[in-house]
Amino acid sequence: MESGDKKLTVDIIDKPARRGLLLIIGWVGFLFFSLVAGLLTTVDFFKPKVIFGPSSRFKAGFPDEYLVGKVSTRWMKEKGVWIIRTERGIYAFLAICRHLGCIPDWVEEEHLFKCPCHGSNYNLEGDVVGGPAPSPLFRVVVSYAPDGQLVIDKSIKEDRVGVREKGQFFLPV
């Protein structure tokens, strides 16, 4: 009987020691990964959050490349801009419908910018002539580069009547 009692005593002493060791390993692992996750989160918080994208400014060629009385769709797909040249000057529109942000189309036959999604229509001045759009199209800055090319800056835009026809939003030719 003595050998059986000895085995029972060893099992009783051994099981709690293993449980305690596993408990300590578990807590140490949990605390280690919690500290590492907290440290990584803190480091990520202090890193600058910069989104690198294409420039909002671009050269659009020389004024002579644009026909008087015509809407140029040359930069529509690549930059989302229409350039219009009249007898008085050049201006550019941002190709975003003011209703829900769709991309309108230039319909030459009707001389209108038409939104295919919800039916907003804009004239050559960018004013709403039909549909649900609440505001005119945005005009963007047009200027000359030192080499004589047009420079379009989409980061500055204007839709107020009286302001959009002057200054940096209209370039006399």
Cα 100 from Cα 117, distance rounded (Å): 9
pLDDT confidence of residue 29: 93
- Looking at the structure, tell me whether residues 41 and 79 fall in a common domain: no
41-54 burial: b if 16+ Cβ within 10 Å, else e: eeeeeeeeeeeeee
Query: Within this chain, do residues 27 and 103 fall inside the same structural domain, yes or no?
Result: no
What pLDDT does residue 36 have?
Answer: 95
Do residues 84 and 128 both lie within one domain? yes
Q: Are residues 113 and 129 in the same domain?
A: yes
Cα–Cα distance for residue pair 99/135, rounded to 1 Å: 8
Tens of pLDDT, residue by residue over 2-17, are: 555 555 555 555 566 7
Where do the DSSP E strands lie in the chain? 57-59, 70-72, 81-85, 89-94, 105-107, 112-114, 121-122, 128-130, 139-144, 150-158, 171-172
Q: What is the total count of domains within the chain?
A: 2
Q: Note whether 103 and 163 are same-domain residues.
A: yes
With a CB cutoff of 8 Å and minimum separation 6, the contacts of 85 are: 63, 66, 67, 68, 69, 70, 72, 173
Domain that holds residue 96: 57-172
In this predicted structure, the answer to whether residue 108 has a pLDDT above a threshold of 90 is no
Same domain, 39 and 69: no
Average pLDDT over the chain, rounded to an integer? 84
Q: Minimum mean pLDDT among 50-54, 128-132, 150-154: which range?
A: 50-54
Per-residue model confidence (pLDDT) at position 6: 57
Long-range contact set of residues 70-79: C-beta below 8 Å, sequence gap at least 24 = 71/106, 71/108, 71/124, 73/106, 75/152, 76/106, 79/152, 79/154
Give SS3 for 84: strand
User: 102 and 88 share a domain?
Assistant: yes
Convert the pLDDT of each residue in 128-149 to its tens digit: 888 888 888 889 999 999 998 9
